[in-house]
Structure 1
Amino acid sequence: MIFICFGISLLYVLVMASFILGFDRVKTFQLSHLKPKTHFSIIIAFRNEEKRLPPLLESIVNLNYPNDHFEIIFVDDESNDTSVQLVRSMLANNRHLNVTLIKNIRSSNSPKKDAISLGISEAQYDWIVTTDADCVLPKYWLESFDEFIQKRLPDFIAAPITYVNCHGFLQNFQLLDVLSLQGATIGGFGIRKPFLCNGANLAYKKELFKTLNGFQGNKEIASGDDVFLLEKATKLNANKVHYLKCQDAVVATSALTSWSELVEQRVRWAAKTNTYKNWFGKLVGLIVLSLNALLISCVLLVIIGIMAPLHLLIIFLVKFSIDFLLIFKTANFFNQKNHLKHYYISSFLYPFFSVIIIFLTVFKGFKWKDRSYKK
């Protein structure tokens, strides 16, 4: 039993150490303010986001990029609040911007994929950029993508996201979780095994989307508009798939305000993982889950006297330390080291949280935007 415990722990350390090394291999991209060349079509799908849309709309107005070099396509996914009116008000007050509002056309089990596909079919420019309606865009967002495209000539770009204005333990718990995911995302790109990205900050060529047949093959899965496309793009040509590690490209969003919302969100995220085709991503998920489940099992074994407390302590400290190194690097990049004080309690809670999420994923569906989805 002890050999199994330490074997799983060793595998975990090797995976996390590779992400830590990979994180440093992805060099931070600095803007040099080149003359803008790239034209972008920004696609934003939304449903009932009246509370979150105003900050996004304001950030769009404040983008530092030539107005004739980008368009924004809002795709309304059957909103029944004032979201549509907010977008129309933006249209009326900012006629210098090229903004289009269209209604989503459902054709699959994934409204968001339908919305993005529809937006791409309406896009007039060669580069597609996606973000979410609950995000705030940085001033030099498009300039960051443009310079990266000019210098690196990619076909697919993943970019950073984080939570801001986090208060209290719940929101800081989510922030630390997202920082760990961002660290693993960047680390995966650094070791040339990309397996994660986020559709809230993603860019790719329209021609690439067509070559990959869009979301064909995973339309029946409600979410995953980002990772499934990453898998396809990497399989086609991994050398054209890059990560934009640039502080001027960081998209900000807000953490959830209740545990029930968080559980629903994480169940939705977990529900798509068994359909991933990336073997490395599946292996990482299996190792991470195994160690978290192992820690809980070891607690029970210590309680009933089968395992020595020292062995449990060693396994926990190994995970605690290697996780902290990756999260520290990520927090440093995002200038969020002041939130690390919540890591200590979070590190105790997370194994239980992650195992509960997997358990719920197996036995229940989830709700997303007031719609129910079965597993």
Structure 2
Amino acid sequence: MTFFLLTVSLLYALFTLTLWVAWLRIPRVLPQLIETDAKTLPFITVVIPVRNEAEQIGNLLDDLNRQSYQNFEVIVADDSSTDATFSIVQQYAQRASFTLRPLALANEKTASPKKRAITQSIRLAAGDLIVTTDGDCRVGPNWLTTIASFYQQTGARLISGPVTFTTEQGIFDSLQTVEFSSLIGTGACTMSLGFPTMCNGANLCYVKEIFTEVGGFAGVDHLASGDDEFLMHKIAARYPDGVRFLKSEEAIVRTQPHRSLRAFYNQRKRWASKWRAYESYLPSLLAIFVFLSNSVPVVAIVGWLAGFLNGNTALVVIGLKAVPEFLFLRQILVFLQKKMSVRVIPLTQLIYPLYVIFFGLAAQGKGYVWKDRKLS
């Protein structure tokens, strides 16, 4: 037992330190366009799938109205909202400085409403590049300029951008910020190491032709989640060097943290349920490895309290997880302009192992509620 606990802990420490070094080696990107002629700049279609976002969608449209990049259009795909979302978008389209195209989706049953919204939007899109975000997000004025600049510099087929939360209002929000930063950082670093594992559809860009080339969401359209990661894996399988992370403060997208435990539970269960559907073994292997690595400290503490594990061994197991993790998370949080959340890392580390075990088991059950709909 002691050998197993120490081995898993050491492997996790090495893994986390590898991510930390990989993060430090990812170059920062400045929003500087190579070509500035509108005729040669990539035309971007921003796709925003929404449902019941009347309170937030206006803020995002205002942000898009202030973009320094001008060569873009926006499609807001409304999935049968029961509030005023669609009418707000229609009214905004009359005064927007950019082309805004409201798209009303049919109120029909589908296994994956978001994939359907994105697919139908892309059919109408005039852009060379597709950029997706969510209706409750906020973006900076150089968001699209930075994406276009990075595309010009790299020719990447898929670009994953950084995502964090808006201003935290309490400890629950701060805990979410730290946890979310670990996902963003891990996704960025595994991309830079050549085996992409995760990304976030709130800040994602891909070449429209490539979406069609890999068959879009075909093969995974029966799954409610994964409009971002499954597509990334399909593109990475065909273009191993074509998936990149955009490390730029100008490209950070901010979204709302969950203010209710129910909403938080349903989202995390939705995320955790994806790992069984991965065709590539690496994301599934990583999910299992993370589950084991977070279970080990719990087992070590229980073993110490029960008297069958030496206290020093338990401390080593905990230290091998906590110290490298702190170094890594601190770097990500500073980049995401969340320095105040650094102080919450120890508390997150205390809670996170129980959280991972809980959602790892919860994901084995089917069904969750998302956007007032029961999905499987």
TM-score band w.r.t. shorter chain = over 0.9
1:169 to 167, 171, 174: 171
- For residue 129 of structure 1, give the secondary structure of its aligned residue in structure 2: strand
Structure 1 residue 197: deviation in Å? Answer: 0.8
Percent identity of paired positions between Structure 1 and Structure 2: 28
Question: Cα gap change, 1:13/1:148 in structure 2, threshold over 3 Å: closer, same or farther?
Answer: same
- What value does the CA root-mean-square deviation take over the aligned residues? 1.4
1:44 aligns with 2:48: yes
Q: Which residue of 1 aligns with 2:265?
A: 263
Q: Which residue of 2 aligns with 1:60?
A: 64
**How many residues matched?**
371
Q: Which residue of 2 aligns with 1:30?
A: 30
AA in 1 matched with 2:336: F
2:225 to 202, 223, 226: 223
Which region of structure 1 is more displaced relative to structure 2, 40-49 or 240-249?
A: 240-249
Counterpart-to-counterpart distance in 2, 1:293 and 1:192 = 27
Structure 1 residues 43-90: Cα deviation after superposition (integer angstroms, max 9, x where no partner):
100001112212212111111122xx2110010101001111211121
Q: Which residue of 2 aligns with 1:100?
A: 101
What 5-or-longer segments of structure 1 have no aligned partner? Answer: none
AA in 2 matched with 1:24: L
- For residue 308 of structure 2, give the secondary structure of its aligned residue in structure 1: coil
AA in 1 matched with 2:102: L
Counterpart-to-counterpart distance in 2, 1:369 and 1:333 = 31
Q: Which residue of 1 aligns with 2:319?
A: 317
Structure 1 residue 107: deviation in Å? Answer: 7.2
Counterpart-to-counterpart distance in 2, 1:166 and 1:371 = 27
What 5-or-longer segments of structure 2 have no aligned partner? Answer: none
Q: Which residue of 2 aligns with 1:9?
A: 9
Counterpart-to-counterpart distance in 2, 1:202 and 1:33 = 19
Which region of structure 1 is more displaced relative to structure 2, 20-29 or 97-106?
A: 97-106
Counterpart-to-counterpart distance in 1, 2:188 and 2:365 = 32
Counterpart-to-counterpart distance in 1, 2:290 and 2:14 = 11
**8 Å contact from structure 2 (residues 44, 128) kept in 1:** yes
Moved over 3 A (4+): 105-108
Question: Cα gap change, 1:25/1:277 in structure 2, threshold over 3 Å: closer, same or farther?
Answer: farther
Counterpart-to-counterpart distance in 1, 2:299 and 2:250 = 43
1:207 aligns with 2:209: yes
Structure 1 residues 137-196: Cα deviation after superposition (integer angstroms, max 9, x where no partner):
110011111111221112111111111201211100000011111111111122111111
- For residue 306 of structure 1, give the secondary structure of its aligned residue in structure 2: coil
1:306 to 305, 308, 311: 308
Counterpart-to-counterpart distance in 2, 1:312 and 1:353 = 20
Q: Which residue of 2 aligns with 1:365?
A: 367
Q: Which residue of 1 aligns with 2:249?
A: 247
Q: TM-score, normalised by structure 1?
A: 0.95
- For residue 73 of structure 1, give the secondary structure of its aligned residue in structure 2: strand
